[in-house]
Amino acid sequence: MLAYLIRRLFAAVVMLVVIILVVFGIFFLVPKWAGVDIATSFVGKQADPASVEAVRQKLGLGDPIFVQAWEFFKAIFAGRTYSGGGDVTECAAPCFGYSFRSEQAVWPVLTERFPVTLALALGAAVLWLIFGLAAGVLSALKRGTLWDRGAMVVALAGVSLPIYFTGLLSLAVFSHSLGWINAEFVPLDESFSGWFGGMILPWITLAFLYAAMYARITRATMMEILGEDYIRTARAKGLKEQVVIRKHAMRSTLTPLLTMLGMDLGALMGGAILTETTFSLPGLGQKVLDAIQNQDLPFILGVVLITSLAVLIANLVVDVLYAVIDPRVRLA
């Protein structure tokens, strides 16, 4: 078990380094090959050659590629000093550089926005797990009945309807028409109830999509597991059906769901772009949309790295939980 953990941890660290380098490659090399000059795009198209040259020096864009890669890598762990063109800027670790547009440092903005995204994702995850699993299991046990068909139609709708539709619909109904919920975002440190009220529709909207997917997967997995030989063995022992489901079938059903949950949560850490935009939540997703629209390279880069890191950590946690659930994995 310990050897398994160490192996996984080591693999994760290696993966992280690879990701950083690949991200660097995508964002600094690809524009270069494509003939886009990063310094020019930083300064603006109408800039005079002198200030473009100053920026090029300051960002080290004239250095050989591997020097740039090393500087980029080092900045994340040790910070970086930008100098050139007469002024010096200290960027403390973890340094993701400065916005091309507003000259804000990237990292503080990310850390400020991350909690909103985290709260959105975790809250939604709790909802979708409860409702997705319950609906999936019930459908599997009552397959072919009206309940099953109804639940699966709702799930199909959940999977197919885009978030900006369900989100706007819920805003229109619950916030504007019925006036039950004040859907303005309120920071958590200002008012808990305000924050909760502002989060509830985004939670439900995001959870609806995922609950639908989870319900369908749960139903399919559960039906498959119920046909397994060891479930028949459990019944042959004289166990109550309820115990057979709870103790024997559920545990096996959880395994594939756990993998999904790890991936989904990891991916959501980079921001639920649609949900955050629909509900004007100041999370990472909204920022990344801004950054893409403005071609603000350092921000896009920062968010991509955070997302990768989150997926990595989520997968690590999933791997560990996997080993706890399935003893056969410990050998792998």
Q: Which residue's CB is nearer to other proteins, number 43 or number 323?
A: 323
From the CB of 218, what's the least distance to other proteins, in Å?
A: 14
256 touches other proteins (CB under 8 A)? no
The answer to whether the CB of 113 falls within 8 A of the CB of 273 is: no
3 touches other proteins (CB under 8 A)? no
Q: Which of 179, 229, 242, 293 binds other proteins (CB under 8 A)?
A: 229
**Using CB under 8 A, which of the segments 110-118, 184-192, 268-276, 320-328 binds other proteins?**
320-328
Q: Which residue's CB is nearer to other proteins, number 11 or number 239?
A: 239
328 touches other proteins (CB under 8 A)? yes
d(CA 294, CA 296) in angstroms, rounded, equals: 5
d(CA 319, CA 330) in angstroms, rounded, equals: 10
134 touches other proteins (CB under 8 A)? no
Q: Which residue's CB is nearer to other proteins, number 64 or number 327?
A: 327
320 touches other proteins (CB under 8 A)? no
d(CA 156, CA 135) in angstroms, rounded, equals: 13
From the CB of 326, what's the least distance to other proteins, in Å?
A: 6
From the CB of 168, what's the least distance to other proteins, in Å?
A: 37
Chain centroid offset of residue 249 CA: 29
CA angle (190, 125, 160) in 5-degree steps: 115
3-state class of 103 per DSSP? coil
149 touches other proteins (CB under 8 A)? no
327 touches other proteins (CB under 8 A)? yes
246 touches other proteins (CB under 8 A)? no
Q: Which residues contact 322 (CB under 8 A, 6 or more apart)?
A: 255, 258, 259, 329
Q: Which residues contact 31 (CB under 8 A, 6 or more apart)?
A: 37, 38, 41
Q: Which residues contact 44 (CB under 8 A, 6 or more apart)?
A: none
The answer to whether the CB of 233 falls within 8 A of the CB of 249 is: no
d(CA 67, CA 204) in angstroms, rounded, equals: 47
Provide the token pair at 200: 């509830």
Provide the token pair at 189: 């440190």
Q: Which of 29, 251, 280, 332 binds other proteins (CB under 8 A)?
A: 251
From the CB of 15, what's the least distance to other proteins, in Å?
A: 28
d(CA 74, CA 168) in angstroms, rounded, equals: 43
3-state class of 105 per DSSP? strand
Q: Which of 48, 144, 190, 242 binds other proteins (CB under 8 A)?
A: 144
From the CB of 3, what's the least distance to other proteins, in Å?
A: 16
Q: Which residue's CB is nearer to other proteins, number 63 or number 148?
A: 148
146 touches other proteins (CB under 8 A)? no
- Binding track over 266-305 against other proteins, x by CB under 8 A: ----------------------------------------
184 touches other proteins (CB under 8 A)? no
Q: Which of 34, 238, 242, 293 binds other proteins (CB under 8 A)?
A: 238
Q: Which residue's CB is nearer to other proteins, number 7 or number 232?
A: 232
The answer to whether the CB of 110 falls within 8 A of the CB of 84 is: no
CA angle (161, 196, 119) in 5-degree steps: 70
Positions touching other proteins (CB under 8 A) are 140-145, 148, 226-240, 248, 251-252, 325-328
